[in-house]
Amino acid sequence: MDNTQPQTRTGPHTEVKYLKGVGEQRARLLKNLGISTILDLMEFFPRDYLARKLNPSIKELRPEDYVAFTTMISWVDERRTHGGKKLLNVGVSDGKATLVCAWFNYPTAYATLFKPGSLLWVSGQLSEYNGQLQLMHPEFELVEDDADDDFWKKREFMPIYSLSGNLTQKFIRRTVYAAFALCAGQIEENLPTGLLEKYQFPARKVALQKMHFTINPAEIPALKQRFVYEEFFYSQLLWARHKHYHGESVQGIHFANKRDLTTQLYAQLPFKLTAPQKRVLREIFADMCSPRQMSRLLQGDVGSGKTIVTLFALLLAVENGYQAALMAPTELLADQHYANISKLLANLPVQVVLLKGGNYRGKTQVKEDISTGSADIIIGTHALLQSDIEFDRLGCVAVDEQHRFGVLQRATLARKDKHPDLLYLSATPIPRSLSLTVFGDLEVSVIDELPPNRKPVQTLVRSNQKIDLVYREVARELVSGSQVYIVCPLIEESDKVDLLDAQRMHEYVSTKVFPQYSCVLLHGRMPAREKDAIMLRFKAGEIRILVSTTVIEVGLDIPNASVMIVEHAERFGLAQLHQLRGRVGRGGQQAWCYLIEHFPVGKIARERLNTLVRTTDGFLIAEKDLELRGPGEFFGTEQSGLPQFRFANLVGDQAVLNQARGDALAIIGTDPDLTAPESALVKKVYFRQYTDKEKLILY
Ligand code: ADP
Ligand code: MG
């Protein structure tokens, strides 16, 4: 009897650890780079290509030039500056002239890393110091001797990969080579011939190999387009199907504009609505008064007044005999909404209730009021999503700070009743390019102007060397009664990175700088109750200085706070800094934001800080942030439901996005379930990737 095991053939989907020379330990390091299978490795594109012949001669270089080239290390010198800082100088030479690479406060390992005689690849912007050309904190790579690797020895262009742990360029190059040697023949095409021809794309197999083994790096940008297109095409198919099946056709509630409660609220508003608030309200009302289900994103910068607009939408549902819910991401925000809205509706015949998580006194009653329908407006946290919460007749749902909730959570609330109208609020201005991809055909309303009583926050970048001057200016604000936030990147001291942590900062400020004021520490590892208690005391003015990590980021309204100090501002993302800055200047007085930078500040970090000084326009900032960081990091978490693109950049690649969307819509328009024979390939690739996401969106 023949009982041989079926042969498992090594292919693109085999785990990378089985490749020659990899093994368990290196496989773990590769995993840090997002590489699990052999195909992942093939799709792990070089971040640069080293031109081994095209190196410039040092003599021809000028200060300010950006350079990238390989040279020989001629000497290494470690010393201390007058100020006591560690300085490492590495002289590199092309045989005719020398330039100096310099690092301050470098990791100890650097001292033994550079050896005279080795080849060093460096890249950065040149400067001049005492008549000597130098590269400060250049990017670098020790170029290993590839003598034993025949294939690579003959290449003019060497790929440079991102590394992890103690992985080397040489290891990755060899492993990539081994991957293609073994599996190149099995790489599958994933675009139909029609599209390949339309865009003159090379076959996937060819394009992948060229990405690693190019003999002409000028062709790389065009090659990359193919991979960008693939990603967009399949993600746009999802939206095309969503549009096809849900699009215009979802029946919703046909509200009538009764001008009852809404008019009463309007008559007693403590301020006049801004023009964009009025426009957005008209858009929302028109949508709610149509027979289809509203699904609308309400965008507006921090402090632009989204809450009041939302309240009108909730009231429209209530005056039509329905209930309306507002969900917030934290208890503190839910409390704040509850307090504000109760106050605004004090004279109206509307019952407002608050629902939070956990067990507390009165909760049973609130749940009963929700299920019997006596509660009109229900404000709450995630607790609203729980299965034991039953609404009587839910007509409208608003989700505040919607990016803090996952797609699944948003979908759960939307399904709590028949087809309530949906309003998603976002203080993170989402660029149009992103919102199309994240939300497909969601309608968007934008409040693009702040209420008139606001003065733009004055933003200043200061070096930490000058922090005493900052404290002196802040002292004046404190004397005149304001409150101050100080934000630090870490909670506790860490020996790995030399960053100011919130704990040390709090100790220093409360004992040495402002001992006369109450100063309290707040961080994310505190229990929620403790955090809330501190925020309430800050809100009440009992606490004057709040030293914290970024936990204070989300939507709190404390009008008396007028100073924000961000330590290590160079470490934060642009959108995050903008959100932090939005915590101050909400009360009509002049507010200040000090961005404290600690040396060294990289080029991109510098650009971020300058952008903040230049503008307070959240949309401009968001576009810039996307451009600098890419969409993956834009919302911080996977939870946002944002598709993770490996190749595409939503800002830089918008033209490709538009083409891909057009193609996807065209295919779904004639063959929505991809049953035609010519759709077979697309169908296979699409469902392999998108089955799970479809479940969330289509059903
Ligand atoms: P956000 O859009 O960040 O959620 P809020 O809705 O919390 O902003 O509004 C911020 C502050 O501005 C609140 O104190 C609110 O009462 C006030 N506000 C809203 N609209 C106006 C307006 N048209 N004129 C003056 N103040 C307003
Ligand atoms: Mg808000």
- Out of 269, 271, 400, 424, mutate this one to test ligand 1's pocket (max ligand atoms within 8 Å of CB): namely 271
Place of tokens 């034993």: 148
CA pair distance 456, 370, nearest whole angstrom:
41
Q: Is the pTM of this model over 0.75?
A: no
Asked if residue 38 lies in contact with residue 179, where contact means CB atoms within 8 angstroms, the answer is yes
Q: Residue 264, class by beta-carbon neighbours within 10 Å (0-12 exposed, 13-18 middle, 19+ buried)?
A: middle
Q: Nearest residue CA, atom 10 of ligand 1?
A: 303
Ligand nearest to the CA of 312: 1
CA of 445 to the centre of ligand 2 (A): 15
Percent of the chain topping pLDDT 90:
45
CA pair distance 417, 520, nearest whole angstrom:
44
Residue 152 one-letter amino acid: W
Q: Which atom of ligand 1 is nearest to the CA of 274?
A: 23
Q: Which atom of ligand 1 is nearest to the CA of 400?
A: 4
Tokens of 202: 């090379």
Q: By mean pLDDT, which of 417-426, 461-470, 556-565, 637-646 is the weakest?
A: 637-646
pLDDT confidence of residue 557? 78
Asked if pLDDT for residue 427 goes beyond 70, the answer is yes
CATH 3.40.50.300 in the chain: give the residue spans.
Answer: 261-447, 458-615
CA of 565 to the centre of ligand 2 (A): 22
CATH 2.40.50.140 in the chain: give the residue spans.
Answer: 53-142
CA pair distance 378, 391, nearest whole angstrom:
10
- Out of 446, 557, 581, mutate this one to test ligand 1's pocket (max ligand atoms within 8 Å of CB): namely 557
What mean pLDDT do residues 432-452 have? 72
Asked if pLDDT for residue 507 goes beyond 70, the answer is yes
Asked if pLDDT for residue 182 goes beyond 80, the answer is yes
Q: Domain spanning 261-447: which superfamily?
A: P-loop containing nucleotide triphosphate hydrolases (3.40.50.300)
Q: Which atom of ligand 1 is nearest to the CA of 309?
A: 6
Q: Nearest residue CA, atom 18 of ligand 1?
A: 305
395 confidence band (pLDDT: 50, 70, 90): very high
Q: By mean pLDDT, which of 88-102, 494-508, 602-616 is the weakest?
A: 494-508
pLDDT confidence of residue 297? 86
Q: Nearest residue CA, atom 4 of ligand 1?
A: 306
Percent of the chain topping pLDDT 70:
85
CA pair distance 277, 451, nearest whole angstrom:
9
Q: Nearest residue CA, atom 1 of ligand 1?
A: 303
CA pair distance 286, 76, nearest whole angstrom:
71
Ligand nearest to the CA of 341: 1
pLDDT confidence of residue 60? 85
Q: Nearest residue CA, atom 17 of ligand 1?
A: 305
The gap from C-alpha 302 to its chain's centroid, in whole angstroms, comes to 17
Q: Domain spanning 458-615: which superfamily?
A: P-loop containing nucleotide triphosphate hydrolases (3.40.50.300)
Asked if pLDDT for residue 432 goes beyond 70, the answer is no
CA of 414 to the centre of ligand 2 (A): 20
Q: How far is CA 151 from CA 52, 141, 158, 371, in A?
A: 15, 20, 11, 72
pLDDT confidence of residue 634? 43
Q: Could you confirm whether domain 53-142 is CATH 3.40.50.1100?
A: no
CA of 398 to the centre of ligand 1 (A): 17
Asked if pLDDT for residue 329 goes beyond 50, the answer is yes
Q: Nearest residue CA, atom 24 of ligand 1?
A: 451
Which protein residues touch ligand 1 with a CB less than 6 Å away?
Answer: 271-274, 277, 300, 302-308, 427, 451, 453, 555, 557, 586
CA angle (86, 92, 95) in 5-degree steps: 160
What mean pLDDT do residues 318-337 have? 92
Model confidence over 252-305: pLDDT tens digits?
A: 899 999 999 999 999 999 999 999 999 999 999 999 999 888 888 898 887 889
What mean pLDDT do residues 333-355 have? 95
Ligand nearest to the CA of 343: 1
Looking at per-residue pLDDT, the higher value among 362 and 555 belongs to: 362
Asked if residue 563 lies in contact with residue 509, where contact means CB atoms within 8 angstroms, the answer is no
Q: Which atom of ligand 1 is nearest to the CA of 582?
A: 3
Model confidence over 40-68: pLDDT tens digits?
A: 999 999 988 876 544 568 888 888 777 77
CA of 484 to the centre of ligand 1 (A): 21
CA of 306 to the centre of ligand 1 (A): 7
